[in-house]
């Protein structure tokens, strides 16, 4: 005899789960942003460095750290969100202790290959905002929630696809330049 599982992990307003998860999400992105400021030659994409303004990125980072802290602190005082709130505040504190938005970026030599963490952070933040807006505006299923129990699978697929695509592009560019470099006409 099978029974349908009760949807106990569905998120509801006032429990602190949504704000806690957003706090953790922003805390993780903040740590990634701070690391990009510390190691731009290894973690940032050369093409993106040319496109965005460092001061604007500092404001975005400050806002993310502030929101992660505020949402985490408010979540901590809700009955079901203590761990999530604490984790969000802790991640924001780690980002701040690593230097926050005040990390100075000196002159550095750009490397041919970079990890592209800045692209991952910006892409994840932008995609999240766009897809949440579109899911609310044009839902595929009327009863589907934005913060559904499978959200962590979505995050894993996003990160895996991002890393797999980056790796595939690197390998393709390396092999194509090695194999067909002779065909380049100066």
CB 81 within 8 A of CB 17: yes
DSSP designation for 182 = G
Spatial distance between the Cα atoms of 123 and 78, rounded to a whole number of angstroms: 31
DSSP designation for 183 = G
Spatial distance between the Cα atoms of 91 and 29, rounded to a whole number of angstroms: 9
Q: What is the pLDDT of residue 7?
A: 45
Tens of pLDDT, residues 95-125: 999 988 888 877 666 666 666 777 777 777 7
User: In this structure, what token pair is assigned to residue 135?
Assistant: 């899911």
Q: What is the pLDDT of residue 96?
A: 94
CA-based torsion, 6, 10, 16, 17: positive or negative = positive
Q: Which residues contact 112 (CB under 8 A, 6 or more apart)?
A: none
Mark 138-173 as b/e (b = at least 16 C-beta within 10 Å): eeeeeeeeeeeeeeeeeeeebeeebeeebeeeeeee
Q: What is the pLDDT of residue 27?
A: 93
Tens of pLDDT, residues 33-53: 899 888 888 778 777 777 888
Helices then strands, each counted (H, E), the chain: 7, 0
Spatial distance between the Cα atoms of 140 and 134, rounded to a whole number of angstroms: 10
Q: Which residues contact 3 (CB under 8 A, 6 or more apart)?
A: none
Residue numbers of the chain with a pLDDT score lower than 50: 1-8
Confidence (pTM): 0.69
Q: What is the pLDDT of residue 69?
A: 93
Q: What is the pLDDT of residue 5?
A: 46
- The full length of the chain comes to 186
Q: What is the pLDDT of residue 164?
A: 78
Spatial distance between the Cα atoms of 186 and 172, rounded to a whole number of angstroms: 22
């Amino acid at each position: 005899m099978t029974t349908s599982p009760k949807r106990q992990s569905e998120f509801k307003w006032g429990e602190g789960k949504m704000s806690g998860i957003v706090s953790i999400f922003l805390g993780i992105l903040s740590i990634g942003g701070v690391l990009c400021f510390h190691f731009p030659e290894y973690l940032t994409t050369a093409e993106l460095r040319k496109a965005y303004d460092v001061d604007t990125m500092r404001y975005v980072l400050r806002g993310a750290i502030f929101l992660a802290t505020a949402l985490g602190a408010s979540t901590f005082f809700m009955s079901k969100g203590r761990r999530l709130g604490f984790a969000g505040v802790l991640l924001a504190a780690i980002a701040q202790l690593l230097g926050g938005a005040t990390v100075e970026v000196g002159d550095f030599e750009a490397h041919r290959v970079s990890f592209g963490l800045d692209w991952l952070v910006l892409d994840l933040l932008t995609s999240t905002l766009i897809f949440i807006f579109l899911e609310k505006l044009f839902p595929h299923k009327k009863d589907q929630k934005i913060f559904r129990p499978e959200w962590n699978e979505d995050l894993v697929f996003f990160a895996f696809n991002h890393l797999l695509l980056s790796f595939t592009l690197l390998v393709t560019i390396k092999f194509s330049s090695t194999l067909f470099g002779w065909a380049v006409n100066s």
